[in-house]
Amino acid sequence: MGTGQHRVAVVTGASSGIGAATARRLAAEGFEVVLTARRTERIEELAKEIESQGGAARAITLDVTDRAAVDAFAAALGRIDVLVNNAGGAFGAESVEQGDPADWLAMYQVNVLGVLHMTQALLPGLRQSGDGTVLILSSTAALAAYEGGGGYVAAKHAAHTIAATLRLELVGEPIRVIEIAPGMVKSEGFAVTRFRGDEAKAAAVYQGVSQPLTSEDIADTVAWAITRPSHVNIDLLVVRPRAQA
């Protein structure tokens, strides 16, 4: 349960991977973390874990692609200081020629419209904070194309331009806009979701990168960027494994 004494950070997609690691890390930094995702059991367990270690956490089930649900979440939230737009993913991983339009739509909905819904709904609260931060987890796929990246590359490029545009639109307001673009992260769910459990296909993409990043590597970066003095805006950080070209 929240105590009302902490700065409040909302993390989307906090049920696994980078989002879960970021939530743990921000709780350790003294934030009250609001854990959101569709898998209720996962975020409730994580909230309990954080509280058992002296942190403050709330778990609220939320699908970021559902605008009405996002609006209801925002209306009930109360204080917010940081929004970490982490929910996302790649589904299917095919060439442009072979990509399934249904996969493209699903990727657009979570990686682009999910960010839009959350950001629009929470900007009023972030303004009230007087020291707000919107953070977007994009990807190296947001900055360069790669073969087979297809719809994921397209969706993450859109997320990148949302971050850049929003930052310009908020110049002069007390809200920072930060983009973190990770390279390959061996997160809990990512390879499985992306390749629908096809280990051979996943291994082919991780080829040559014997040591991908961990979710904790990205959580560290997120925490560092957020905890800079409030007049310092870290626009964009690209974090990749040393072995990734």
| 55-94 residues near ligand NDP, rule: CB under 6 A | 62-65, 86-89
Which part of the chain contacts ligand NDP (CB under 6 A), choosing from 9-17, 51-59, 168-176, 222-230?
Answer: 9-17
Contact in structure between 77 and 126 (CB atoms under 8 Å): no
Contact in structure between 37 and 14 (CB atoms under 8 Å): yes
Which part of the chain contacts ligand NDP (CB under 6 A), choosing from 24-32, 160-168, 177-185, 222-230?
Answer: 177-185
Interior/surface letters 166-179, b for 16+ CB within 10 angstroms, e for the rest = bbeebeeeebbbbb
- Shortest Å distance, C-beta 221 to ligand NDP: 12
- Shortest Å distance, C-beta 205 to ligand NDP: 9
CA–CA separation, 235 and 164 (whole Å): 8
Q: Which residue matches tokens 């709780």?
A: 27
**Residues 6 or more apart whose Cβ sits within 8 Å of residue 214:** 21, 185, 186
Say whether 108 is catalytic. no
| 15-54 residues near ligand NDP, rule: CB under 6 A | 15-19, 37-39, 42
Which part of the chain contacts ligand NDP (CB under 6 A), choosing from 24-32, 67-75, 161-169, 189-197?
Answer: 189-197
| Sheet with 56-61: strands ordered across | 56-61, 32-37, 8-12, 82-85, 132-137, 175-182, 236-239
Which amino acids are annotated catalytic? Answer: 152
**Binding residues for ligand NDP (CB under 6 A):** 12-13, 15-19, 37-39, 42, 62-65, 86-89, 110, 114, 137, 139, 182, 184-185, 187-190, 193, 215
